[in-house]
Amino acid sequence: MTTHHEILEAALTRITAGYVFPEQTAAVDAALRRRLAEGAYQDLDERELCERVTDDLQNACPDKHLRLLWTEEPQPMDEEPEDVARARFARYARENNYGIRRVEQLDYNIGYLDLRMIAPAELGGPAIAAAMQLLAPTEALVIDLRECQDGSPEGVQLWCSYLFADDEVHLNDIYERATDSTRQYWTLGHLAAPRYLDRPVTVLTSDLTFSGGEELAYNLKVLGRATVVGQTTRGGAHPTARIPVAPHVTVTVPTARSINPVTGTNWEGVGVEPDLAVAVGDALETALRHLRTRLG
- Say what the pTM is: 0.89
Q: What is the pLDDT of residues 62-113, one digit of tens each?
A: 888 899 999 998 888 877 788 888 898 899 999 999 999 999 999 999 999 9
Q: Please give the pLDDT value at position 160.
A: 98
In this structure, whether the domain defined by 96-236+271-295 belongs to CATH 3.90.226.10 is answered with: yes
Mean pLDDT in residue range 147-157: 95
Burial class of residue 66, CB neighbours in 10 A (0-12, 13-18, 19+): buried
**Dist CA 128 CA 260 (whole Å):** 24
- pLDDT score of 164 more than 90: yes
Q: What is the pLDDT of residues 280-289, one digit of tens each?
A: 999 999 999 9
Q: Please give the pLDDT value at position 82.
A: 82
Q: What is the pLDDT of residues 24-37, one digit of tens each?
A: 999 999 999 999 99
